[in-house]
Amino acid sequence: MSYVINFLGSGIRYWICELPIAQFKEMEQIRIKHHVDWVDLLFDFDFLQHFGYQHWNELAILPAQMGFLITAQNKIEIKKGSKFLSKFFASDLLNQSALFPLYQTSSSLIKLLKQEQKQQLILLQIEKGLIAKLKVNDERLEMEDLCFELCSMQDLSFISSIDYKGSKLLIKQDDTVSISSRVYLLNESQT
């Protein structure tokens, strides 16, 4: 039998990127001259085209990553067919008010290798809607076999993935709209 896990609310889609230092410095001069933020430049197709990029994902060193923000408004639904088996808020995963952990969680870090002569950055979009729909094919879904992997980046805490019985569940569907964008410079000390 198939079970569905829905993440509803706000999430993130992000790209870990690198730019050659010389190109980054040239972009920085333009940014300062025009008094604009990095987000206004790096999410601007015309600006990127000037440097030979068609889309910001061409700056990425890894495919786009997704996360489900851990907030009191974001909901997680677990369904079997049209029947709800469980509904809870993402913030419940932090187990802040429970005597015993209600859900199994693990923590992970975003790992980056420092590259000489490269400026590393994260391009991030905050999205709303159905952040992820995951499926579990099992006769009986056991909540204790679900493990929510928690991660943080700057001021954001999010679920980066879910494992079921040791296997990572893949996103089958998402349906979101982007509501804002951010840029995080990771190794500014080189510039």
In this predicted model, what pLDDT tens digit does every residue of 175-187 receive, in sequence order? 999 999 999 998 7
User: Is residue 43 helix, strand or coil?
Assistant: coil
What is the percent of the chain where pLDDT is above 90? 77
- Segment 79-87 shows an average pLDDT of 93
Q: What is the pLDDT of residues 154-167, one digit of tens each?
A: 889 999 999 999 99
- Does pLDDT of 88 surpass 90? yes
CA distances from 164 to 68, 104, 112, 167 (A): 17, 11, 26, 5
> What integer pLDDT is reported at residue 96 of this predicted model?
62
